[in-house]
Structure 1
């Protein structure tokens, strides 16, 4: 129940803002919402309890493992799995609460993994860690939809990220690319889409808005092999996709902290461009265009173009935002600025300054102190970077920092005055 609103109802009635009948209706509505919604704390403890029970069983068996025969060991390997399936079946058939389903699904998820590991150990079945995790998540994936479980969807996302990490980063000389990660990611997408449709503003949906870009950001590096230069461009294009997704009205109308795509995209673009702003970056070796990295870069560029074209077609673009066009500018500059450090450095520094000014303007238009100060931090980061790679005197450097400090104070002061005057007019 929204306790703050409920507490204010008597005052609203007393001041004739709403009638007593309306207040009673509002209170009854929130009470019904509270009765129908699951207890989040109980769900969390239920999931944690399932984890602890599963770990406890494994520890007990591990302590006495060598004293059992192979037949007994096999029975113990499958026993937790059978129990987990029975508990899940009971939760479904008896239409138990969300907490029951989340807890039983979590228990079954880990018993699947333990059963695979134990059977492999008992019968000396060879295999590597990535194959083990792949088998585990494939067998567990149907549970996401069978139980409509958010916890299982989160575990699925974590484990497929680890699977891709193990293949791409686990072995230094590995040339494998975890293409199956894309298939595994696609398995969980329908569940995420349902959350976006029916539980748009819920915290669990906001969590997925952060986890998906985080997972893809970690895994993209596994698709980079020998062409590290194009790998850098791939990340620029990926963060541009995130930013353009985050600017779509569906995400942009939500609170900023719930828009993981926008924040990931913006921070990623700024950090990569600050790296590119150094003179040494632009001594790029000759690029090989007929390679895996080039095809992925083309695909990401095309996705950016489709999203931006859709924004034009739907008339979502209210004003010019440099962030949304960065993927075009940086792609052209990246491919045309080979071994031209002066040209690349100057243009990148101008672009970073433009991004900072754009962000400050967005913050001022929305009267949002966080966005405003983020724009100031972009400019400050640019000044700090130039502090280390230029031959300016310490007096000029000091004056630059004084200027940036004054700009922080003045812009926030002007914003505060603007907010105060706007509040008075309401």
Structure 2
């Protein structure tokens, strides 16, 4: 049991706040809790060990591969798969610890991939990398629920990203619609984590990994009308931000809320990118074609994001106006207005970025959060830096702007610190 807890219990007994019997019951509770809790570090090393063993076996076999006959090669190809299935079955039937299940699951996952690759090589079965990854991930997906394995869930996401990128960017240059299925397969496991372990580190990892995977893969859904790609990403970041503002995520520590951070950073990045004149000139150079895949994907993302906002309003979760939550709507209007001329769009986007910076500063000041406060200042600084490269201002004016921003950083943080001290004194 934690020494601090023991000292606190002892202090409470001495102060006669609790009795000796209550103190004993508390100590027994924490001791039983510690026994039931799996050793996380041991689980991590067990998973890493299983991965290394599996890769080591593959390397040993690969070194002597040409010396074996086809029948022996086939036997070696199925051996890891059979061994992995036996260990997984033993873990399930004997209801072994989480460490056992995680390690055996990871071993079987790589055994499936190795067996598939070896059989394809032995019998010269044609195929490409993306289809190989897709079949591999789908075959191993049930293991996530049989073993309740977080390590397998993480591998599922990572290899789903590999499949989508290989299929969309390299092998076929087509839209990886099966990625949506792979993501849907994982959602029940993620929902259980959110429900049962909302504050655990593993849940926080998924809070970052899932939105990151969608951000990476969305580019593969851009086919012919690349101009709509900017709109798709702005709406996606708006969706992530609004998910992050749901009470379940918003009430957690900021570092656990990957949706909110990625949504906010992505929104600012896309707005800064579209604040340059050359980009709008490039967009206007091409005819915007409605009815394309990108257009329908944009509509779908827009409706989903709007649905999240409407649902939040119906539950009265949105009390104050936060411009970040509505940027996707404003940008959609600006995007279509920009088709008639780029000057209005550039001006509106610059004003929008400036407003977002000011709002972030206000949010940081209201919450006494130095991170959010300085984030708002950084947004304004980034806007000034961007205008540094595409305006004809003199170096004196540019220098004065940077000095002003530097003074603003110092003064704002100083005033914030002063207010915080006064609040603590009161």
- Interval containing the TM-score (normalised by the shorter chain): over 0.9
Which sits farther off after the overlay, 137-146 or 411-420? 411-420
1:62-110: CA deviation from partner (whole Å, max 9, x where unpaired): 2221221111111111111111011001111111000000000000000
Alignment of 1:101-180 (within 5 A): 101-171=101-171, 174-180=172-178
1:154-193: CA deviation from partner (whole Å, max 9, x where unpaired): 001100110000011114xx44110011011101110000
Contact 2:232 2:301 in 1 (8 A): yes
Contact 2:224 2:292 in 1 (8 A): no
Q: Deviation of residue 409 (structure 1)?
A: 1.1
Which sits farther off after the overlay, 15-24 or 36-45? 15-24
Work out whether 1:261 is the aligned partner of 2:259.
yes
For these two proteins, the number of residue pairs brought into alignment is 423
**Counterpart residue number, 2:310:** 309
* Distance in 1 separating the partners of 2:401 and 2:20: 60
Q: Deviation of residue 235 (structure 1)?
A: 0.4
**Counterpart residue number, 1:84:** 84
* Distance in 2 separating the partners of 1:4 and 1:405: 43
- 1:201 pairs, out of 193, 199, 208, with 199
Alignment of 1:209-358 (within 5 A): 209-283=207-281, 284=283, 285-358=286-359
**Counterpart residue number, 2:417:** 416
* Distance in 1 separating the partners of 2:212 and 2:411: 35
Contact 1:50 1:104 in 2 (8 A): yes
* Distance in 2 separating the partners of 1:307 and 1:405: 38
Contact 1:281 1:341 in 2 (8 A): no
CA 1:275 to 1:152, structure 2 compared with 1: closer, same or farther past 3 Å? same
Contact 1:280 1:341 in 2 (8 A): no
Alignment of 1:359-370 (within 5 A): 359-370=360-371
Q: Deviation of residue 282 (structure 1)?
A: 2.0
SS of the aligned residue for 1:169 comes to helix
Contact 2:175 2:221 in 1 (8 A): yes
Contact 1:77 1:118 in 2 (8 A): yes
The answer for unaligned runs of 5 or more in structure 2 is none
SS of the aligned residue for 1:352 comes to helix
CA 1:16 to 1:280, structure 2 compared with 1: closer, same or farther past 3 Å? farther
CA 1:6 to 1:401, structure 2 compared with 1: closer, same or farther past 3 Å? farther
Q: Deviation of residue 32 (structure 1)?
A: 2.2
CA 1:230 to 1:160, structure 2 compared with 1: closer, same or farther past 3 Å? same
Q: TM-score scaled by structure 2?
A: 0.96
